[in-house]
Amino acid sequence: MLGLVHVVDDDASFRTAIERRLKVAGYEVAVYPSAQLLLDQLPMVEIPACILLDVQIPGLSGPELQSQLISLGSSIPIVFVTGHVDIATTVQAIKDGAEDFLTKPVTSQQLIDAIDRALLRHKAAIVQRSRLIILHHLVASLTPRERQVFDLMVLGKINKQIAYELGTAERTVKAHRRQVMEKMQVSSFAELVSIAERLGVRDAQCIIGEDRRLSPNI
């Protein structure tokens, strides 16, 4: 399966034609006559997907659905397909993260190209999210003391500084560092810093450190 395409359009003949065209091309297809119906039924299964969405739909409009999905934290890319070109709507939709904005009638190649780009983007987002979940689990596996050492390591503190801040021996810090590297499954300090940045740990610690320098009484 190349991916799942959610088709949202109130035109029954368009839905039928697009569903047939996309299934022949190898995609799994789900069709909805309204944006609200997709919103109510949108599955949370982590498979590459995109939404083929009309702009002017009775009830919840295409752009309104886009806003709702953004507020829900959905990462499913949207490809707008419309017969009514509105520059302001187009610009806003793209600013809000739409993959593309196609005008009916659209050729099969235009449609397939846009869908493939959207599916690739969603696949990358799924992989990234899965990796972040794994990294959070690795960080959670650290003991409280190892977590303290981890936080100080990614701030660039050397063993002597960490030992001083934690009130422990330098050799103990070295042992904790080895455990941190092993549990985080990294072979270099650069990898550890990269993980901390991806998780937002390093940025948070830098902010705390800056606050402490500015506010000595903290």
> In the structure encoding, which two tokens stand for residue 212, read together?
């402490």
Domain with CATH 1.10.10.10 in the chain: 141-214
Distance of CA 146 to the CA centre of its chain: 29
pLDDT of residue 214: 35
Domain with CATH 3.40.50.2300 in the chain: 4-133
Contact indicator for 21, 108 with CB cutoff of 8 Å: yes
Q: Is pLDDT above 60 for 213?
A: no
Mean of pLDDT values over 3-30: 93
Contact indicator for 102, 114 with CB cutoff of 8 Å: yes
Per DSSP, what are the bridge partners of residue 28? 4
Q: Is pLDDT above 60 for 209?
A: no
Mean of pLDDT values over 47-53: 93
What's domain 141-214's architecture? Answer: Orthogonal Bundle (1.10)
CA distance 128 to 122: 10
Q: Is pLDDT above 90 for 112?
A: yes
Q: Is pLDDT above 50 for 180?
A: yes
The pLDDT tens digits for 115-146 are: 999 999 999 988 888 889 999 999 999 999 99
Q: Is pLDDT above 60 for 211?
A: no
Which residues in 58-82 are b (16+ Cβ under 10 Å) and which e? eebbbbebbeebeeeebbbbbbbbb
Mean of pLDDT values over 159-188: 94
The pLDDT tens digits for 185-208 are: 999 999 999 999 988 876 545 433
CA of 174: how far to CAs of 149, 168, 171, 205, in Å? 9, 11, 5, 21
Mean of pLDDT values over 39-66: 88
The pLDDT tens digits for 138-169 are: 999 999 999 999 999 999 999 999 999 999 99
At the fourth CATH level, the homologous superfamily of domain 4-133 is: Response regulator (3.40.50.2300)
Mean of pLDDT values over 29-55: 89
**218 falls in which pLDDT band (50, 70, 90)?**
very low
Q: What is the DSSP letter of 72?
A: T
pLDDT of residue 205: 53
